[in-house]
Amino acid sequence: MFKPSMTLAALLLASSMCAASTSDDIAKATLDELRALVSEGTGVIGDLQPHINSGKLDPALASQESLENKLRARYQKSTSRSIDSPLPGLPGEARKAFLKAYRDVLATHRGVMTKGGQDAFVPAYFRAQVLKEFNKTMGGKVRAYATNRDNELINGDWAVSRVMKGSPVAGHVTELMGTGKLDPVVTRKGDHMLGYWPMKLGASCVQCHAANGLQQKEGTFGGALVAEMSLK
């Protein structure tokens, strides 16, 4: 039924008329929406690292309005969509939950950000806090985390065995990470849709991780953003 020419809105409408369970296309659209939001939201905090680390972040740059506008611009550039455009169904629900978590976590950490200091507010920490709140809001229906292979974790809390505890696709994620390949995988496994987006290590990642006791190589696999949902 899905044709590339169909708009997402038409697709959502069609699917809501014919099925109680989530279709593969809706699930993929939801996970992809989440991927874009997480990547761009984390990027906003990534861009501010020099300011935060030097302890000289202009409070105007840390304002809610400024940080929302930065996300708006990055999202538009990366997806060619507006973050403010109506998005019905599950993708819209996910976007709403993400934006709430983004705002909440920034509000809680504004003081830390503006006070600053070396590694006072790193992107990975920010992402973990946002995803924790997001996963809670979605009540387990859609879940996402940044993780890595067991022997390359800075924070053991993000091991697959912990964040994906009980998930039927946890084994597949371990397998994919084992290959160290950098290609994204979006695939259905039984009643589950899995989104797996490997991260490639840049010089700044390697440098900061080294300061945290992790030896890695630029250009290689440096963990993955994983999102999953049940189709039932």
Residues 175 to 204 in contact with ligand HEC, rule: CB under 6 A: 199, 201-202, 204
In the complex, what is the shortest distance from the CB of residue 199 to ligand HEC, in angstroms, rounded to a whole number? 4
- Tokens 């996300």 correspond to what residue? 71
In the complex, what is the shortest distance from the CB of residue 120 to ligand HEC, in angstroms, rounded to a whole number? 9
Q: Is 2 one of the binding residues for ligand HEC (CB under 6 A)?
A: no
**Which residues are 227's β-sheet partners?**
144, 195
In the complex, what is the shortest distance from the CB of residue 109 to ligand HEC, in angstroms, rounded to a whole number? 13
In the complex, what is the shortest distance from the CB of residue 85 to ligand HEC, in angstroms, rounded to a whole number? 28
The residue whose Cβ lies closest to ligand HEC is 223
Which listed range, 18-26, 67-75, 106-114, 145-153, lies at the site for ligand HEC (CB under 6 A)? 145-153
Residues 112 to 131 in contact with ligand HEC, rule: CB under 6 A: 119, 122-125, 128
